[in-house]
Amino acid sequence: MKKLTDGFQLSNGISLPCVGYGTWQTPDGETASESVRRAIEAGYRHIDCAAVYANEASVGRGIQSSGIPRNELFVTSKVWNTERGYDKTMKALEKTLSDLQLDYLDLYLIHWPANSRQFSDWDSINLDTWRAMTDLYKAGRVKAIGVSNFQPKHLKSLLETDVKPMVNQIRFHPGMMQREIVSFCKENGLIVEAWSPLGQGKVLSDPVLQEIADRYGKSTAQVCVKWCLQHEICPLPKSVTPDRIKANAEVFDFILTGEDMTKIDRMDRGEIVDSDNIDF
């Protein structure tokens, strides 16, 4: 990857711009619109949204005000947990499109799997939601479909359907690599996206990262973003701070050595996000 518009190729041939701009916890209103406009101005072409972030209408205004043609942008959203199942998913997409003021999405994800802690029929709920995703994809309302926070056990049945998930968006940052899920996705042709690639800001003061960042003359945030890219994982850094928005994407003028990649990999504590055991 040499620039923000370079992409990971999804299994249906579509290009996923290699660094996405995150919008979770971005305050609704002016902050969301202005941050998204600034991100696009800084060169991001991939915006990661979700209905549950409760800011899609403002994000949509930011997209409109950027003046960038729709076909040069890649916009993702996610169906929330209360909207699982065929009919509700179909309606959820229409609401998201109307909020974002768009007539199609580039990528639509199931935000979290229905899980065995909450539902005895979790697998059929996920399949029902997936059937809606598949129909939306076939109708051209969304250009690609995938999941988020799915473990291999949740992905298994979906991989047996006629349109397989193209993306799995999971938590991935120095200290949390979820290696088994990443390997499973790569073996099955899914592109992995990294949520919280900066560890929600908490890993940025880590001394191992700081030492590496200093040697390259970069920030620890830039090292985190680059480390994801060199793992062939698409990072989605979020910031509402103008200079961070810009700097987080300035990652194409250095390459981490194999030795530095290994040093960062060693920060992994082996923990996972146990999406099979959540109660929301």
Catalytic residue (one of 21, 53, 108, 137)? 53
- The tokens of 54 are what? 């409760």
Closest separation between CB of residue 148 and ligand NDP, Å? 4
**Region binding ligand NDP by CB under 6 A among candidate stretches 8-16, 23-31, 65-73, 132-140:** 23-31
At 237, which amino acid appears? Answer: P
> Smaller CB distance to ligand NDP: residue 55 or 66?
55
Is residue 201 a contact residue for ligand NDP (CB under 6 A)? yes
Is residue 169 a contact residue for ligand NDP (CB under 6 A)? yes
Is residue 221 a contact residue for ligand NDP (CB under 6 A)? yes
**Region binding ligand NDP by CB under 6 A among candidate stretches 2-10, 130-138, 150-158, 242-250:** 242-250
In angstroms, the CA 68 to CA 19 distance is 17
- The tokens of 7 are what? 């992409």
Is residue 33 a contact residue for ligand NDP (CB under 6 A)? no
Please report, for residues 25, 219, 265, 275, the alpha-carbon distance to residue 154 in angstroms, rounded to integers and kept in the order given: 27, 36, 26, 9
> Smaller CB distance to ligand NDP: residue 130 or 195?
195
Which listed residue (199, 209, 225, 234) binds ligand NDP by CB under 6 A?
Answer: 199
**Region binding ligand NDP by CB under 6 A among candidate stretches 7-15, 92-100, 159-167, 194-202:** 194-202
Long-range contacts made by residues 67-71, C-beta under 8 angstroms, separation at least 24? 68/40, 70/102
Single out the residue of 60, 61, 68, 64 nearest to residue 42, CA to CA: 68
Closest separation between CB of residue 132 and ligand NDP, Å? 18
> Smaller CB distance to ligand NDP: residue 129 or 196?
196
> Smaller CB distance to ligand NDP: residue 76 or 134?
76
Q: Name the E strands within the chain.
A: 7-9, 15-17, 21-22, 46-48, 74-79, 107-110, 145-148, 167-171, 191-195, 234-235
Q: Of all residues in this chain, which one has the CB nearest to ligand NDP in the complex?
A: 22
In angstroms, the CA 264 to CA 214 distance is 14
> Smaller CB distance to ligand NDP: residue 88 or 246?
246
- The tokens of 277 are what? 């055991």
Identify residues 92-111 at the interface with ligand NDP (CB under 6 A).
Answer: 111
Pairing of strands 46-48, 74-79: parallel
Is residue 165 a contact residue for ligand NDP (CB under 6 A)? no
**Region binding ligand NDP by CB under 6 A among candidate stretches 67-75, 89-97, 231-239, 252-260:** 231-239
**Other CB atoms closer than 10 Å to residue 173's CB: what's the count?**
25
137 is catalytic: no
**Containing H/E element for 154?**
helix 152-158
Residues annotated as catalytic (active site), given as ranges? 53
